[in-house]
A and B are shown apart, each in its own frame.
Chain A
Amino acid sequence: MKLFWKLMLGIMTIFLLTFPLFGTILLQTSFRTALEREKENGLEELRCFQYSFLSSLEELGDHYTVDEEMLRTLAESVGKNLLDSRCSFCLYYDTGTSIYPVGQRAGKRWNTLKQKKSDENCLWELTEEKGNHVLKAMVKMESGEKIYGLEVTRNIQNIYDSRREMYQNYRISLLALFFVTAGFAGVLAGKMTRPLRKLSQATREFSEGIYDRRVKPEGKDEVALLMQDFNYMADELQDNIDELKEAARRQEEFTGAFAHELKTPLTSMIGYGEMLLMRELTEEERTQAASYIYRESKRLEKLSYKMMELIGLGKGTIIYQPVNILSLLEQLEKTTGNLLREKEITLCCRAEKGSLEGDFDLLLSLLVNLVDNGRKACREGGHILVCGGHEGEGQYRITVADDGCGIPKEELGKITEAFYMVDKSRARREGSAGLGMAICERIVRLHHAQWKIESTVGEGTTVSILFQEMNSGKSKDRVEDASASRSGEVQHEK
Chain B
Amino acid sequence: MIRILIVEDEEAIANLIWMNLKNAGYECVLAHTGNEGANRMEEGSFDLCILDIMLPGIDGYELLEYANRLQLPVIFLTAKGEVPDKVKGLRLGAEDYMTKPFDILELLARVENVLRRHNKLEQEIDVCGLHVNIPARSVTREGREIPLTMKEFDLLLLFLRNPDVALYREMIYEQVWGSNYMGDSRTVDLHVQRLRKKTGLEKEIEAVYKVGYRFRRQG
Contacts and interface: CB of A to CB of B under 8 A. Distances in A.
Nearest to B216: A280
B166 A277 contact: yes
Interface in A384-432: 423-425, 428
B12 A268 contact: yes
B15 A288 contact: yes
Interface in B84-112: 99-105
A466 B165 CA distance: 61
Nearest to A429: B11
B23 interface: yes
Contacts of A277: 166, 211
A254 to B, nearest CB: 15
Given A263-B100, A267-B100, A285-B19, A278 B166 contact: yes
A295 B17 CA distance: 17
Contacts of B65: none
B100 A275 contact: no
B164 A279 contact: yes
B9 interface: yes
Contacts of B175: none
Contact of A424 (B9, B15, B81): B9
Contact of A271 (B11, B13, B54, B99): B13
Contacts of A296: 12
Contact of A263 (B32, B56, B79): B79
Contact of A264 (B19, B32, B79, B105): B79
Contacts of B56: 423-425
Contact of B79 (A260, A423, A424): A260
Contacts of B103: 270, 274
A467 interface: no
Interface residues of B, number: 30
B101 A270 contact: yes
Interface in B16-46: 16-17, 19-20, 23, 32
B174 interface: no
A451 interface: no
Contact of B104 (A274, A280, A292, A423): A274
A275 B79 CA distance: 20
Given A288-B15, A425-B11, A425-B56, A266 B101 contact: yes
Interface string A270-307: 11101101111000010010001001100000000000
A431 to B, nearest CB: 13
Given A279-B166, A280-B164, A268 B19 contact: no
B79 A271 contact: no
B109 to A, nearest CB: 14
Contacts of B15: 288, 292
A272 B14 CA distance: 11
Contacts of A264: 10, 13, 79, 100
B165 A278 contact: yes
Contacts of A278: 104-105, 165-168
B97 to A, nearest CB: 15
A259 B79 contact: yes
Contact of A268 (B9, B10, B167, B211): B10
A288 B165 CA distance: 18
Interface string A106-117: 000000000000
Given A278-B165, A278-B167, A279-B166, A267 B13 contact: yes
Given A292-B12, A424-B56, A266 B165 contact: no
B16 A292 contact: yes
Contacts of B104: 271, 274-275, 278
Contacts of A275: 16, 19-20, 104
Nearest to B17: A271
Contacts of A292: 12, 15-16
A279 B15 CA distance: 16
Contacts of B19: 275, 285
Given A278-B166, A279-B164, A263 B16 contact: no
Interface centre among A278, A285, A428 (most CB of B within 10 A): A278
A152 B125 CA distance: 153
A209 B135 CA distance: 60
A419 to B, nearest CB: 11
A14 B32 CA distance: 88
B164 A271 contact: no
Interface in A423-458: 423-425, 428
Contacts of A425: 9, 11, 32, 56
A267 B17 CA distance: 11
Interface in B114-169: 164-168
A279 B16 contact: no
Nearest to A262: B79
B54 A279 contact: no
B23 A279 contact: yes
Contacts of A424: 9, 56
B9 to A, nearest CB: 6
Interface in A227-267: 259-260, 263-267
Contacts of B102: 267, 270-271
Nearest to A259: B79
Nearest to B107: A271
Given A274-B104, A424-B56, A268 B13 contact: yes
B58 to A, nearest CB: 14
A292 B17 CA distance: 13
Contacts of B11: 425, 428
Interface of A: 259-260, 263-272, 274-275, 277-280, 285, 288, 292, 295-296, 423-425, 428
Interface of B: 9-13, 15-17, 19-20, 23, 32, 54, 56, 79-81, 99-105, 164-168, 211
21 contacts: A260-B79, A263-B99, A263-B101, A264-B100, A268-B13, A271-B17, A271-B102, A272-B12, A274-B103, A274-B104, A275-B19, A275-B20, A275-B104, A277-B166, A279-B23, A279-B166, A292-B15, A292-B16, A295-B12, A424-B56, A428-B11
Given A267-B16, A277-B211, A425-B11, 14 more contacts: A260-B54, A260-B80, A263-B101, A267-B79, A267-B102, A268-B10, A270-B102, A271-B13, A271-B17, A278-B168, A280-B164, A285-B19, A292-B16, A424-B56
